[in-house]
């Protein structure tokens, strides 16, 4: 079983969409996605600098649009995947690819999410840090001791802590034994209680969506790694996810339990393949960073990979 994975925020780099615009129909798709999200994705994906595309309200639609472009570029091979999942904001690409909502609806929702989370991040000075290594129980105890919350359980010995800047500084100064604390370049404490106002905003946006279908393929949720079979529940989980931890570790465990034989990460790829190398050791994986990687991804999806 080949799993398709959609990356989350932080995977974008300046100009990364430029080569994708050379594909037939890509520019037209991005124009439609831009209209839906109310973000100029072509400009931000080709010429905007790193600081600009780090802005949450730009980064989130940009990442989801790139994943959807990749999904369509894979063509019929994508439909041979055994299932799909997304990390954090990547779940919006996953629900669209699974047929729960249209691409344009997913882009509308992620546009609303990005703006709401950017606004929520201004309400308090907060941030996030990755804690790599150490014993999980010790890491969680240190996070709690610093007054922080675990925001991402990424698997492979990586947990992301989030909360006040003071708490993050305390954690860095009192790193658990065998662990490194790495500050992340994000606007606020995503996937924590600090995002409460964004939850309300996204819930309001989701309530306007009427055309919802059951997933056409296996769809895992990063709320707990389970399979979602009801389209409306999939959207409700996207709402709750804004202030709840991302459990990518449980997703990878579900992939393993379901007999994963390969993983294809959609653009802007790299982070989830990196986690798979540690959490799904020995599993063949392809990171689709540019259109040049499509051939290898198609081969893996078709069972033709060496």
- Which three-class secondary structure state does DSSP give residue 34? helix
C-alpha distances in Å from residue 250, one per residue of 67, 112, 226, 229: 22, 27, 8, 17
In whole angstroms, what is the distance from residue 98 CA to residue 84 CA?
Answer: 7
**Tokens at 151, concatenated:** 């925001």
Cite the DSSP H helix spans in the chain. Answer: 26-37, 41-46, 50-54, 56-73, 90-97, 103-121, 136-145, 165-173, 196-206, 231-241, 248-257, 271-279, 294-302
Other Cβ atoms within 10 Å of 165 Cβ, number: 13
The maximal CA–CA distance of the chain, rounded, in angstroms, is 53
Q: Which of 11, 191, 243, 267 is catalytic?
A: 191
- Which three-class secondary structure state does DSSP give residue 11? coil
Q: By C-alpha distance, which of 68, 60, 63, 54 is closest to 111?
A: 60
Q: Which residue has the tokens 């709690």?
A: 144
Q: By C-alpha distance, which of 195, 93, 106 is closest to 151?
A: 195
Q: Which of 34, 48, 88, 129 is catalytic?
A: 88
Q: Can 191 be counted among the known catalytic residues?
A: yes
> Catalytic residue positions?
88, 191
């Amino acid at each position: 079983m080949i799993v398709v994975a959609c990356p989350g925020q932080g995977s974008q780099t300046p100009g990364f969409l430029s080569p994708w615009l050379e594909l037939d129909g890509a520019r037209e798709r991005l124009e439609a996605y831009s209209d839906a999200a109310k973000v100029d994705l072509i400009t931000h994906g080709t010429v905007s600098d790193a600081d600009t595309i780090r802005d949450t309200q730009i980064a989130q639609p940009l990442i989801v649009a790139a994943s959807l472009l990749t999904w369509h570029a894979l063509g019929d091979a994508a439909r041979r995947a055994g299932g799909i999942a997304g990390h954090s904001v990547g779940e919006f690409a996953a629900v669209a690819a699974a047929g729960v909502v249209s691409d344009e609806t997913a882009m509308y929702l992620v546009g609303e999410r990005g703006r709401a989370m950017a606004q929520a991040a201004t309400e308090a000075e907060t941030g996030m840090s990755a804690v790599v290594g150490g014993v999980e129980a010790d890491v969680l105890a240190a996070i709690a001791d610093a007054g922080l919350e675990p925001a991402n359980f990424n698997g492979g010995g990586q947990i992301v802590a989030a909360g006040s800047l003071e708490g993050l500084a305390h954690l860095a100064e009192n790193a658990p034994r065998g662990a490194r604390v790495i500050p992340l370049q994000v606007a606020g404490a995503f996937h924590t209680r600090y995002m409460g106002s964004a939850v309300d905003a996204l819930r309001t946006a989701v309530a306007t969506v009427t055309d919802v279908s059951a997933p056409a393929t296996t769809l895992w949720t990063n709320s707990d790694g389970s399979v979602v079979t009801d389209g409306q529940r999939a959207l409700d989980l996207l709402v709750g996810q804004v202030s709840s931890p991302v459990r990518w570790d449980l997703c990878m465990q579900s992939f393993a339990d379901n007999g994963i034989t390969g993983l294809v990460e959609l653009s802007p790829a790299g982070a989830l393949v990196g986690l798979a190398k540690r959490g799904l050791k020995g599993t063949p994986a392809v990171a689709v960073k540019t259109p040049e990687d499509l051939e290898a991804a198609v081969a893996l999806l078709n069972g033709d990979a060496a």
